[in-house]
A and B are shown apart, each in its own frame.
Chain A
Amino acid sequence: MMTRHFDASQFTQNRQFEADIVIIGSGAGGGIAAEQLAQAGFKVLLLEEGAWYTRDDFVMQERWAYPQLYQEGAARKSRDQAISILQGRTVGGSTTVNWTTSIRTPSPTLDYWSAEFGVNFSDDADLTPYFAMAEQRLNIQPWPVAPNANNAKLQQGCEKLGWQYTVINRNVNGCANLGYCGMGCPINAKQSMLVTTIPAAMALGATLISRISVRQLHWQGDSITGLDAVPVDQYFQPRSDVRIHIKAKHYIVAAGAIGSPALLLRSKVPNPSGRLGRHTYLHPTVISGALFDEAINGHSGAPQSIYSDQFVWPQHSDKAGYKLEVPPLHPVLMATKLTGTGGQHAALMQQFNHLQVTIALLRDGFHPQSQGGTVQLDDAQQPVLDYPISDYLWQGMREALLSMAELQFAAGAKQVLPIHHDAKLYNNWHEAKGAIHTLPMQALKQTVVSAHVMGGCNMSASVAKGVVNQEGRHHQLQNLSVFDGSILPTSLGANPQLTIYALVWRNCQQLITSLQ
């Protein structure tokens, strides 16, 4: 049998490869594309900057998982270091480390795209059958097990206040409710690309090259003519001693909403709309901690099983909407996000098992004052995201802190700690409300995080308003597609994996038809 996997870091001399289709990135977009295109009979080459780790490697320890499975050791930051960005970098991309939440694209988001960007997903272009196929392929179903205490508090708070909430659909099969999805599933229960489409594509003849960083696409006229790549070292830094050249008939960029624009910027591809690497969205997220008398043990159990959309589509269009969820609680994640130093920080850490944490993800990209960030290249030609936070978003964050504190007290919290460097533990809703109203909403004072990067190569009907068309085909280069979250024209107001699966599935069908 032919070798189906190469670890580029083992290459000792320059190499060349050829394929029908080369896919750069093996996450939600690249993973779906690899299987679809391999099934259609194309010779597929799948490239991944991270390593090919499998369940035996997943030891459920943050100190191993963050440097090995995440971009920049899970310490990726926006340019001003005010926003922390969690993004996968391993075979399977973020699907290997995400928290399994699977939500169809909200209809108001699709309506907005239709009105503003001319992309229409109704009638013949309806995504419903693609959602259904992705749900079936990845066993996406409502989580039938009772939520863990961390999620249950979100549910109880919503019930007390009469707020909307929903049981989350998860892409799992045989889940043991461990709670370590973010460090790689140790029992292959999570139906990530790592255990579903990628092995299926390889069984159909696709070749995977891991630990490879694509540096540049070469193009001439309206076509990509080849690409240059290098191996990465043991720290996933690009090396310069070995070069890899790859030629294909069609090129699919699926390196995520920071990686894809960065590669296209390095390649200086045509960009008449000026939108390449711009309008990058994050679902900027704020955090609220709460102490309960009873044990919460937020490290244990499905990390996300309840969400609330009470505030995601506010009546007044001048207000920023936000979705309420909870994160899993593990020592490094908590220690780095809890505020304070010295004894104050140590005392909070000692309450680790009694901490409930709620997060609010802001829906960015739907307002003139929310136009997202810009992917730039640093001196080493590596990406860095500049994301200025507008007053509109700061105001939304303040309201989100208020909602979360109200919810946590309603659910029975003893004390609430908004994760803001000037905030304190507050003893009741009245006290918290007064204090949150006066917190200075400023970069670095207010902790902001993100686990969803979207946009930067947005789709549009008109060449003037985007980088790719509705099928993910580049507006200027005929044999280039972008198949990942970077094609989204705004954020979603929902966790992105299922949207990417369905869009890319549909785009692959169009691509197969046009290539055959």
Chain B
Amino acid sequence: MDRRQFILSGIALGTAASFGIGGLSWQRSLQQHNDNRDLVLSALLPALLYGALPQDATLAATELNRTKAAVADFMPFLPQRQQQELHQLFNLLANRVTQLALTGHIAALPQLSISQRLQLLNQWRDSYLSLLQQAYHGLRELLYGAYYGQSEHWQALAYTAPRFR
């Protein structure tokens, strides 16, 4: 077992154990669960992209869906160990109990306000645990890359890709 995965599991699974919940094993936490990824991205993207997403709710929803699809399309290109770490992060954040250990919030991620979600990301950035810092930077790059990789999202940049052919 990789030491880093062990620490992340250790924090979250330790909390789960202290609540008497044995259902979430280390091995299971490394597996891909698309619903968990979707839940976490649906909660974090509107915070991370606050100020970038369009005001119009329908347009914003379209951009969020496009970004979530881009994340799913990109992840298989990462090394297996990084994919597992991301699966684990999504799984732990999607689980109410393990989420508590990572966020300090008892409320589920989608119930937090946008500013609480941003505050949470900033807490990870400044955490004394390098694992939470890595989660902050890893998610940030993955999600911003996925959003700004889409030519439909470049209006605010006043940038258009050249058309050569």
List residues of A whose CB falls within 8 A of some B CB.
56, 60-63, 66-67, 72-73, 75, 77, 80-81, 84, 178, 180, 186-187, 235-237, 299, 331-332, 334-336, 341-347, 349-350, 352-353, 378-380, 382, 384, 421, 443-444
Decide if B154 is an interface residue (CB 8 Å cutoff): yes
- Residue from A62, A336, A378 in contact with B141 in the complex, judged by beta carbons closer than 8 Å: A336
Question: Is the pair A336, B145 in contact by a Cβ cutoff of 8 Å?
Answer: yes
Question: Is the pair A331, B47 in contact by a Cβ cutoff of 8 Å?
Answer: no
- Nearest residue (CB) in A for B140 is A341
- Residue from B118, B125, B133, B162 in contact with A60 in the complex, judged by beta carbons closer than 8 Å: B162
Decide if B148 is an interface residue (CB 8 Å cutoff): yes
Question: Is the pair B52, A349 in contact by a Cβ cutoff of 8 Å?
Answer: yes
Closest 6 CB pairs of A and B: A346-B51, A343-B51, A63-B149, A73-B77, A335-B148, A346-B52
B161 / chain A contacts, CB cutoff of 8 Å: 60-61
Q: Given contacts A81-B137, A341-B118, A349-B156, are A236 and B145 in contact (CB under 8 A)?
A: no
Report Cα–Cα, A387/B99, bound state, in Å: 31
B147 / chain A contacts, CB cutoff of 8 Å: 335
Q: Could you list some 22 contacts between A and B, CB below 8 A?
A: A61-B151, A63-B70, A63-B150, A72-B78, A73-B74, A75-B145, A81-B134, A178-B164, A180-B162, A235-B77, A331-B159, A335-B144, A336-B144, A341-B47, A342-B114, A345-B51, A346-B52, A349-B156, A378-B81, A382-B81, A444-B134, A444-B137
Decide if B2 is an interface residue (CB 8 Å cutoff): yes
A347 / chain B contacts, CB cutoff of 8 Å: 51
In chain B, residues 71-116, which have Cβ atoms closer than 8 Å to a Cβ of chain A? 74, 76-82, 114
Question: Is the pair B157, A349 in contact by a Cβ cutoff of 8 Å?
Answer: yes
Question: How many Å from the CB of A88 to the closest CB on chain B?
Answer: 14
- Nearest residue (CB) in A for B85 is A81
Question: Is the pair A342, B47 in contact by a Cβ cutoff of 8 Å?
Answer: yes
A336 / chain B contacts, CB cutoff of 8 Å: 140-141, 144-145, 148
Question: Is the pair A343, B50 in contact by a Cβ cutoff of 8 Å?
Answer: yes
Contacts between the two chains (Cβ within 8 Å), count: 126
B157 / chain A contacts, CB cutoff of 8 Å: 331, 349-350, 352-353
- Nearest residue (CB) in B for A65 is B149
Decide if B158 is an interface residue (CB 8 Å cutoff): yes
Q: Given contacts A62-B149, A345-B144, A378-B81, are A235 and B118 in contact (CB under 8 A)?
A: no
Question: Is the pair B148, A332 in contact by a Cβ cutoff of 8 Å?
Answer: yes
Question: How many Å from the CB of B56 to the closest CB on chain A?
Answer: 16
A332 / chain B contacts, CB cutoff of 8 Å: 144-145, 148-149
A73 / chain B contacts, CB cutoff of 8 Å: 74, 77-78
Decide if B130 is an interface residue (CB 8 Å cutoff): yes
Tally of B interface residues using CB under 8 Å: 45
Question: Is the pair B148, A380 in contact by a Cβ cutoff of 8 Å?
Answer: no
- Interface contacts beyond A67-B74, A336-B148: sample of 20 additional A-B pairs, CB < 8 Å, sorted by A: A60-B161, A63-B150, A72-B79, A75-B141, A84-B141, A178-B162, A178-B164, A331-B159, A332-B145, A335-B147, A341-B50, A342-B51, A342-B114, A344-B51, A347-B51, A349-B148, A350-B156, A352-B157, A378-B81, A382-B81
A63 / chain B contacts, CB cutoff of 8 Å: 70, 149-150
B24-49 CB contact bits vs A (8 Å, 1 = yes)? 00000000000000000000000111
Interface centre among A62, A63, A187, A444 (most CB of B within 10 A): A63
Report Cα–Cα, A379/B6, bound state, in Å: 14
- Nearest residue (CB) in A for B158 is A353
Q: Given contacts A60-B164, A349-B148, A352-B157, are A380 and B80 in contact (CB under 8 A)?
A: yes
A334 / chain B contacts, CB cutoff of 8 Å: 148
Report Cα–Cα, A186/B163, bound state, in Å: 11
Report Cα–Cα, A344/B49, bound state, in Å: 10
Decide if B8 is an interface residue (CB 8 Å cutoff): no
A66 / chain B contacts, CB cutoff of 8 Å: 145, 149
Q: Given contacts A81-B138, A353-B157, are A342 and B148 in contact (CB under 8 A)?
A: no
Decide if B12 is an interface residue (CB 8 Å cutoff): no
B52 / chain A contacts, CB cutoff of 8 Å: 345-346, 349
Report Cα–Cα, A343/B53, bound state, in Å: 10
Question: Is the pair A379, B81 in contact by a Cβ cutoff of 8 Å?
Answer: yes
Decide if B121 is an interface residue (CB 8 Å cutoff): yes
Report Cα–Cα, A343/B161, bound state, in Å: 24
Question: How many Å from the CB of B142 to the closest CB on chain A?
Answer: 8
Report Cα–Cα, A460/B48, bound state, in Å: 50
Decide if B62 is an interface residue (CB 8 Å cutoff): no
B8-31 CB contact bits vs A (8 Å, 1 = yes)? 000000000000000000000000
Question: How many Å from the CB of B120 to the closest CB on chain A?
Answer: 10
Question: Is the pair B121, A341 in contact by a Cβ cutoff of 8 Å?
Answer: yes
- Residue from B141, B142, B148 in contact with A331 in the complex, judged by beta carbons closer than 8 Å: B148
Report Cα–Cα, A112/B28, bound state, in Å: 52
- Nearest residue (CB) in B for A80 is B130
B156 / chain A contacts, CB cutoff of 8 Å: 346, 349-350
A352 / chain B contacts, CB cutoff of 8 Å: 157-159
Question: Is the pair B79, A380 in contact by a Cβ cutoff of 8 Å?
Answer: yes
Question: Is the pair A237, B47 in contact by a Cβ cutoff of 8 Å?
Answer: no
A343 / chain B contacts, CB cutoff of 8 Å: 50-51
Question: Is the pair A342, B130 in contact by a Cβ cutoff of 8 Å?
Answer: no
- Residue from B70, B145, B159, B164 in contact with A186 in the complex, judged by beta carbons closer than 8 Å: B164
Question: How many Å from the CB of A180 to the closest CB on chain B?
Answer: 7
Report Cα–Cα, A226/B47, bound state, in Å: 54
Question: How many Å from the CB of B68 to the closest CB on chain A?
Answer: 14
